[in-house]
Structure 1
């Protein structure tokens, strides 16, 4: 079988997606990238770096597999000529980002220096949502050209290849930028960015029409599961073996035994590299890991790294963060590991360090600090927080700056998505609720690592109940409408109205209303609004309770569990 390698520019890919000549075999998984992946991809392209090749299967007169269009692309068109076997995430992100058809996200070109690459512009995104009764997406300023340009932002779809984007940009620029000379200068930069996209080459390998279904499936599986090349970790293992005559595999295995809770948060092999780079005051990148001497230094500082791991896991458990599944951002794990490796032990000095790290933890959850440039920001935060803990005279750590990384307002909390999604804010809200204890609504048990696997995501206002009231799915599946309860409680509540199942709880506990109130409060759930059955009032009041607790933790590091 011959596999042909060919070039194809982005506008040509878009033409084929628009006319539905290129589609996906239905057996492929659905769109999986989060917005951080999409942002990273666009900035890679702006730096004129490659994204790798994709794989297609040429189609003859009959499709070998049932097919579907990529998300956001037309579902009708010309005769299908190829199936995309590998590259779905990249092409979907390119299409949706440059056509502005994500439902909850808009991508922008920022006319600011990128702190990681040094480029004079970069791509980033903001969340979008609608509240009940809204005609336009929030935040409203993102709909106004003048407000956008005050922030030096241009909608990314205006930089897409094609005449249509050119025409839309001219109208937008006229509305956004009053000064003609400034408008001309901006147009020149925008043209440079558009040229990068227009000339971007995404090469592909093609399987011929004669390829059998079985062979095509076999190639697809191997393309997505093969791991033949040595990983970065494997190379560091070899460095340690050569320099110290010890097995890093055995050391990491011992770490798993000493601190079994670690695997709930992070892959130990990855954490060892990331945290060690921070301890060596180097960026956590492949270039650092593969540099001469990295493995040897890692081994020399192994004991302090292990100490950091143990204290980090204990700290997360104390904050009632129990696993990666509910972790708003995993960048905090290696940063905390490196910080706890050197933090004071005992008495007031440790108490002060814990307060600083608690403040850092919750700010990382509730701010956008780690939504881009995570490697460089992780190193910056480690160095700045380490100096603060050591009481060294140093500027305020960037992550504590409200102007650069503001905490979310009530509307943003209300709009946060269901926490099973990879949505930072949605998971942050759930984590904050569990921080209060997360008592089960029926049996009163406190949430713990042991009983967490037996808990389920429960709609406080059941979805069936809200559907009967005509509430849209987008408003039903909100983080503020979620609590983790036991599966027995979840089944018992079913689709009952809140006032009904709360009445059952009152009958079921000898302590009556005081006990039920306490159980709800342990999730930061307002009792009166639940009893009244007013969903919108409930969302607003719970957002206020969450926000009050968020400010205590993020601004002062106060671990008050009473409210």
Structure 2
């Protein structure tokens, strides 16, 4: 066994990828880079910055491979392939740029020497040139330069040609390559895990998947086949990543951690195969329950897929083929409460470990409920708990469920609001009181987008509303059409003057329906106990308001409130956005200044946690990004930023899900 160190030009590597002479072993994860990262890579190479080395494996073995995320004609290989272990994101990105892939339309501004992904604005501005056009070996630098001069570039022609020539020369920049020779697959996998555990951090799921592929040859094909089965049945979120985590959970008996890959390496083939059968059997028992008990024909409304894993363990390890009603109802009851309580919004794998252990107890439903601290109380949804909730809240999912069990249908068209996979339109929601009718200082964006103002109707039905007040369009609908969506019938609530009372009344109707849903599945041993709020965060609120944008010194204002306290503070939107991106893309912890105090932005397992005033706000990086996108859509001018009497919070912190913010 030895390691060769060589160099090869970017152009040659691109050619070898196209010829099938560079392949991805099965242990590699998917291509995940975003267009902005691709543009930054091109910028680094253009400026002569270091752009890293590559790690390959040369072997006479024939390991399982996975497709590279590229397109274009492929030539026949003329030599044995090299298997890429480190550098997939960079090489795939470069191949996409060089071959004009639709997902890598990088353009270059010749005057400010800036790279970015193509947009409508750059398409309108002729001073932007597509990098792929410059890299085309048949392209004439002189003609491209003349085109830019004709577009009004202020640079002299020789300067334009020099800058375009530097792009042309990117093909000749050279990567340092390390090539492993004579190493067995198991050792290569260990090297892959170690290399990818540093620098740009792989998550525990990526590492577990890499290890599984070495322990069980062809596991990726098994997972993909199962994933395709559920995609055909409407549950497309049962993907390879979910199945990998579920399999690891069954085999290890817990969630993933940094030591998971070493434990998986020690797992016998028999245990892996037995675990895989448990996963498949559990899913084939659980999904029909979701369909029959909740009318959930598709997976996209589920706020969290991880909540299914303990139930897969519970049902998949049962010896009998029939599931008694008490168990099936208890499974649904726990799923609903775990969703309300955002069970997996922080320390996901720690909680998953607890829940997998509970699912294997003699009385699994009771044990799972003990993990939610409701084993001796009957959970109840209150009108107060629904105040200020929006579509990011887990109650949005419950509002869909109560509409489904109430046989609600699309207004005017009469179609189902969650059709089976054969019909598969996108699930939509729209405002009962359209925003255009609530253009009044009395109603802030939180009130307008309140969960109680949202119904599950199609875009076609929303066009029929066409910005009209309920006072105008409700007469076109029957009382039953409104009642099935839990819309109050009082005509006094159909105008803006009655909007606040409309929200209060509809929240009460939603809360009653949600409690009826919970009561339907509540285990008998909870019938005689006291009630408690289903949501520990009821009565707490965290409002966000953005003034300005990410790049113009914009500020995001946080306003927190609860029983006996109120707090406000702000942060730089750019600083917070950079911290979230660093965590999302690279798993790098950082700090931001909120209310004049430096606070940590930390990745704890796969959850991002930020102390904001009285709350420890938690959620996945994707959930944080969705909330930021929501605020960007409704941002106000920076000049409208109000004065804030910011004070540092010195009390205890309460966990608060980012999806529950307004």
TM value normalised by structure 1 = 0.50
Aligned-pair distance for 1:321? 3.5
Aligned-pair distance for 1:304? 2.0
Q: Select 1:496's aligned residue among 450, 468, 480.
A: 468
Q: Select 2:509's aligned residue among 531, 535, 545.
A: 545
Aligned-pair distance for 1:496? 1.3
Aligned-pair distance for 1:388? 6.0
What aligned pairs does 1:266-415 form with structure 2 within 5 A after superposition? Answer: 266=237, 268-280=239-251, 281-291=253-263, 292-294=265-267, 296=269, 297-318=271-292, 319-323=294-298, 325-343=300-318, 349-387=323-361, 389=363, 397-401=370-374, 409-415=382-388
**1:527 is aligned to 2:489:** yes
Rounded to whole Å, the distance in 2 between the matches of 1:346 and 1:486 is 39
Q: Select 1:443's aligned residue among 409, 413, 421.
A: 413
Rounded to whole Å, the distance in 2 between the matches of 1:488 and 1:461 is 16
Q: For residues 309-328 of structure 1, what are the alpha-carbon distances to aligned partners after superposition, in whole Å with 9 as ceiling and x for unaligned?
A: 22333233332345554322
Q: Specify the alignment match of 1:511 in structure 2.
A: none
Q: In the alignment, is the contact (CA less than 8 A) between 2:369 and 2:375 conserved in 1?
A: no
Aligned-pair distance for 1:377? 1.5
Distance 1:394 1:409, change over 3 A: closer
Q: Specify the alignment match of 1:485 in structure 2.
A: 457
Q: For residues 71-108 of structure 1, what are the alpha-carbon distances to aligned partners after superposition, in whole Å with 9 as ceiling and x for unaligned?
A: xxxxxxxxxxxxxxxxxxxxxxxxxxxxxxxxxxxxxx
The SS at the match of 2:387 is helix
Q: Where is the strand percentage greater, Structure 1 or Structure 2?
A: 2
The SS at the match of 2:411 is coil
Rounded to whole Å, the distance in 1 between the matches of 2:268 and 2:241 is 13
Distance 1:452 1:546, change over 3 A: farther
Q: In the alignment, is the contact (CA less than 8 A) between 1:430 and 1:479 conserved in 2?
A: no
Distance 1:470 1:521, change over 3 A: same
The SS at the match of 1:415 is coil
Distance 1:461 1:262, change over 3 A: same
Q: For residues 232-258 of structure 1, what are the alpha-carbon distances to aligned partners after superposition, in whole Å with 9 as ceiling and x for unaligned?
A: 6676566556555x4102211221343
Q: Specify the alignment match of 2:11 in structure 1.
A: none
Structure 2, unmatched stretches of 5+, are 1-35, 38-110, 117-162, 171-192, 524-662
**1:259 is aligned to 2:234:** no
Q: In the alignment, is the contact (CA less than 8 A) between 2:429 and 2:454 conserved in 1?
A: yes
Number of aligned residue pairs: give it: 334
The SS at the match of 1:456 is coil
TM value normalised by structure 2 = 0.43
Q: In the alignment, is the contact (CA less than 8 A) between 1:262 and 1:309 conserved in 2?
A: no
What aligned pairs does 1:453-468 form with structure 2 within 5 A after superposition? Answer: 453-467=425-439
Distance 1:382 1:556, change over 3 A: farther
Aligned-pair distance for 1:402? 7.9
Q: Specify the alignment match of 2:221 in structure 1.
A: 250
Q: In the alignment, is the contact (CA less than 8 A) between 2:479 and 2:489 conserved in 1?
A: yes
Distance 1:462 1:242, change over 3 A: closer
Distance 1:286 1:333, change over 3 A: farther
**1:433 is aligned to 2:385:** no
Work out which of the two has the higher radius of gyration on C-alpha atoms and give 1 or 2. Answer: 2
**1:424 is aligned to 2:394:** yes
Q: In the alignment, is the contact (CA less than 8 A) between 1:240 and 1:247 conserved in 2?
A: no
Aligned-pair distance for 1:359? 0.5
Q: Where is the helix percentage greater, Structure 1 or Structure 2?
A: 1
Distance 1:531 1:248, change over 3 A: same
Rounded to whole Å, the distance in 2 between the matches of 1:499 and 1:290 is 64
Distance 1:469 1:522, change over 3 A: farther
Q: For residues 238-295 of structure 1, what are the alpha-carbon distances to aligned partners after superposition, in whole Å with 9 as ceiling and x for unaligned?
A: 6556555x41022112213433357745352222232223323222334224422347
Aligned-pair distance for 1:529? 5.7
Q: Specify the alignment match of 1:53 in structure 2.
A: none
The SS at the match of 2:430 is strand
Rounded to whole Å, the distance in 1 between the matches of 2:449 and 2:232 is 30
Distance 1:483 1:547, change over 3 A: same
The SS at the match of 1:301 is helix
Rounded to whole Å, the distance in 2 between the matches of 1:497 and 1:361 is 37
Q: In the alignment, is the contact (CA less than 8 A) between 1:456 and 1:487 conserved in 2?
A: yes
Q: In the alignment, is the contact (CA less than 8 A) between 1:363 and 1:400 conserved in 2?
A: no
Rounded to whole Å, the distance in 2 between the matches of 1:394 and 1:327 is 23
Rounded to whole Å, the distance in 1 between the matches of 2:289 and 2:310 is 13
Q: In the alignment, is the contact (CA less than 8 A) between 1:275 and 1:305 conserved in 2?
A: yes
Q: In the alignment, is the contact (CA less than 8 A) between 1:285 and 1:375 conserved in 2?
A: yes
Q: Quick check: 544-553 or 380-389, which moved more?
A: 380-389
Q: Specify the alignment match of 2:521 in structure 1.
A: 557
Rounded to whole Å, the distance in 1 between the matches of 2:302 and 2:484 is 19
Rounded to whole Å, the distance in 2 between the matches of 1:461 and 1:532 is 8
Aligned-pair distance for 1:360? 0.8
Rounded to whole Å, the distance in 2 between the matches of 1:409 and 1:547 is 6
Aligned-pair distance for 1:443? 2.2
